[in-house]
Structure 1
Amino acid sequence: MALTLTSCGGGDSAGGGDNATIRLVAADYGDSADNSSEKYWDELVDAFEAKNPGIRVNVEVHSWNDVDQRVADMVRSGDAPDMAQIGAYADYAAQGRLYSADELLSIPTQADFLPGLAQAGEVHRVQYGLPFASSTRVLFYNKTLFAKAGITAPPKTWAELQQDAQALKAAGAQTPYGLPLGPEEPQAETLNWMLSGGGGYTDNVGSYTFDSDANVKTFEWLRDELVAKGLTNPKPGSTNRKEVYAAFADGQVGMVNGHPTLMRMADAKNVQYGMAPLPGRDGTSAATTGVADWMMAFKQHGHREQVGKFLDFVYQRDNVLKFADQYDLLPVTTTASEAMRADKDNKHLWEFLDELHTAEFYPVSKLSWAPVVSKLKKSIGATVEKNGDPASVLGELERDAEATENSARTQD
């Protein structure tokens, strides 16, 4: 169900100046009516309109299940919203539909974005995607199960992770390590393991590297040293993240890579857990997965000035921090990040915040990424099945990714 927010304001003409109505379509980060993003936007819009009485802001909040499609339908029907806060921006940028960041934002606002996130929002070195919320991944471990298995510290290497998983299994843990490679969101777990093995989705010049030696060896290790030895959930290729998180919150999983939402789930069921950097092949992983959601502004209705004023307000430090606090997410600006790091009430997020500086993000600026990740979701789980062939699966993904990228460049 869409949640539509319409705050009282000034005029609603479609023209320029300070008299216009602008529309935002946004995703809902809440999991119930009580913590819906509707409340955040309602309060923020009221505060903005009080300072800018000529600008009226209408906000529609949709669930993550359909918000991207809703925006796509609006664009296709010829009535794009002025702003959209969704999961991807590159296609719209390539079509010439979006304002660039420097066309919208004041210099201080644009300069305040964390550098890695600002870069992730670029297409052809021009920033169109404005980061809105972010998260990173760390290793969660169940302290109670660790104590029962005689484990005194979280693992720093793959070998230690395997040893700890074996100890957990011997001590009766139902799932020593939770490995979600099912179709819901395997791209995060996949990148976690690629990075910890010295690989990744792309190289330092942005070319796809699915079938690199490092990536192939990573999934061979997962297949042979964790899955084949019964140290994970029985069918990782069909197990989704939500299932693994729920099992961890029920005290059934010894270790899992997770983001801040898992803290709330575990706290709600009084699970005693710890967090640590991701283990790597030979030591702590040099990088972790970063995930960002995006704000973008469409040119269609010509409200550049009004949208710019609103977005400058959205990205003020206190507003960014309030949203991050409310949903246990990470701020996307330097000033808000520094404020979170200085606030002991946010100590539970410091581990994730520290990882943000070295996080690697999905290659969302590549026009091919959406179809590529769609194929990955269907096939990556086969790499760790019995008799699975990582080189073959990753090779096919590489060929498809390269072909899709070449096609997208031609159309661009």
Structure 2
Amino acid sequence: MRRRSLLALAPLGLVGACGLVPGDSDRRTVTVWLMKDSASQDFLRRFTERFEHEHTDLRLDIRIQQWTGIGAKVQAALDAGSGHGPDVIEVGNTQVPQYVEGDRLLDLTLESLRWGRSDWLPGLAEPGQQSAHQYGIPWYAANRVVIYRKDLFAKAGLTAPPRTREDWLTATRRLDSGGVQGIYLAGQDWYTLAGFIWDEGGDLASDRDGGGWRGTLDSPAALRGMDFYRRLQALGHGPVGSDEEHPPQAGVFAEGRVAQIVAVPGQARAIVQRNPGLKEKIGFFPVPGRTAHYPGAVFTGGSDLVVPNNTRERDGAVAVVAALTGATWDTDLARTMNYVPNRKSLAKAVAGEEGVAAMAAGAAQGRATPATPQWGAVEADNPIKPYMTKVLTGADPATEARRASRRITDVLNSLG
């Protein structure tokens, strides 16, 4: 997942200092690359102290990295000689496939079985797999929810958030009146569209037919997802020719005439900063699903931990990954940083925070973008965005979907 400013090495002094204890010269150093803002300094201090107390032969050297330019830094580290790079690396969940190529990551399949991978969030676990082998170990997640105005819902006679997509449409129609947008949904919010496509059983691209990856926006399931997006988007005035960042939808919501947006819960902070009067009026609920039994599918962003094959501290690196992604520290991190834990069974750990609880409910149905190293090139060209705009402005969906799918296929094959 690309996040924040999505390398200059910057050792975290407070954390590194935890290894300076009597007998430190006898310890083996495990170098860990973590990304800026993924964990608080206090969390890392507490983790390091406990880990080094329990592993008296190891010392942690945690180094904080910037998201900008991290891809090239990781590639260089994976290609370095043995012992010349980090032993554990935090990577975006959707970036794992590009690092697996060339046998550069340690196969952690056997370890993952002991670590309970059947309980992991699918949107974190699936991108970390290749040919049934597990290379990326889920750490934490974040995903979109519906941020809504409780007062506007009450005014419209809506006593509870909708739980099905059809009920969502009905509620949004009631909200879309009196100068209020029922929902602000930009025309090119393709991550939200992806969730509707997955909900229908479709995908953005597939390799299931054995002929390599190809775009599948023209499948019946994907077309149904686009049709729902079209119906929902029409219940507001979101610009059909731009995405959710142009203009930033938090700013539009803060103006006070929007009942709902689809965004990560953290967007609520930006809204309240611009309009403090909305602080007690904002609520959250999971993106509704096709039925009331499960929330809708959502794109799951977040991080996995990987171990380079060129590590000289294999056992130490595996121990660090096991500890950080284990239930105790993963729960601690989720509560500290308002993340979704990596396991479905840990959702109750964040039940006390409305926005995070809504994220956790949706994350159980989470997905990630197609697990191919070439998907980044698709996003750079991104034929999905103009496809969406054309459909929303009246073009034939099937025709435009075929064109966009061919473009996706061409990009994937040209780099394959």
Q: Same fold (TM over 0.5)?
A: yes
Cα distance change of structure 1 residues 111 and 164 upon mapping to structure 2, 3 Å threshold: closer
Q: Which moved more, 1:195-204 or 1:115-124?
A: 195-204
Instruction: Name the SS of the counterpart of 2:204 in structure 1.
Output: coil
Instruction: Name the SS of the counterpart of 1:97 in structure 2.
Output: coil
Cα distance change of structure 1 residues 162 and 111 upon mapping to structure 2, 3 Å threshold: closer
Q: After the TM superposition, which residues 109-188 of structure 1 pair with which residues of structure 2 at under 5 Å, given as runs?
A: 109=115, 111=117, 113-114=119-120, 116=122, 117-156=124-163, 160-173=167-180, 175-180=181-186, 186-188=189-191
Q: Post-superposition shift, 1:165? A: 3.7
5+ residue gaps, structure 2, are 1-7
Identity %: 21
Cα distance change of structure 1 residues 281 and 313 upon mapping to structure 2, 3 Å threshold: closer
**Structure 2 length as normaliser, TM-score?**
0.77
Q: Post-superposition shift, 1:343? A: 6.9
**Structure 1 length as normaliser, TM-score?**
0.78
5+ residue gaps, structure 1, are 12-17, 31-35
1:274 aligns with 2:283: yes
- In the other structure, the counterpart of 1:14 is none
Name the amino acid aligned to 2:375. Answer: W
- In the other structure, the counterpart of 2:327 is 317
Q: Distance in 1 between matches of 2:342 and 2:291?
A: 31
Q: Distance in 1 between matches of 2:312 and 2:258?
A: 52
Instruction: Name the SS of the counterpart of 1:319 in structure 2.
Output: helix
Q: Post-superposition shift, 1:404? A: 4.6
Are the aligned partners of 1:136 and 1:356 in contact in 2 as well (CA < 8 Å)? yes
Equivalent of residue 243 in structure 1, options 242, 248, 258: 248
1:360 aligns with 2:347: no
Write the deviation string for residues 149-202 of structure 1: whole angstroms up to 9, x where unpaired. 4444434555554454444342222x43122455xxx44212123234553325
Cα distance change of structure 1 residues 3 and 247 upon mapping to structure 2, 3 Å threshold: farther
Q: After the TM superposition, which residues 397-412 of structure 1 pair with which residues of structure 2 at under 5 Å, given as runs?
A: 397-406=404-413
Q: Distance in 2 between matches of 1:283 and 1:53?
A: 50
1:46 aligns with 2:49: yes
Q: Distance in 2 between matches of 1:346 and 1:147?
A: 21
Number of residue-to-residue matches in the alignment: 387
Name the amino acid aligned to 2:335. Answer: D
Q: Post-superposition shift, 1:305? A: 1.4
Instruction: Name the SS of the counterpart of 2:19 in structure 1.
Output: coil
Cα distance change of structure 1 residues 153 and 310 upon mapping to structure 2, 3 Å threshold: closer
Q: Distance in 2 between matches of 1:301 and 1:329?
A: 29
Q: Post-superposition shift, 1:235? A: 4.2
- In the other structure, the counterpart of 2:198 is 195
Q: Distance in 1 between matches of 2:103 and 2:372?
A: 15
Write the deviation string for residues 120-141 of structure 1: whole angstroms up to 9, x where unpaired. 4211110001111113433332
Are the aligned partners of 1:132 and 1:332 in contact in 2 as well (CA < 8 Å)? yes
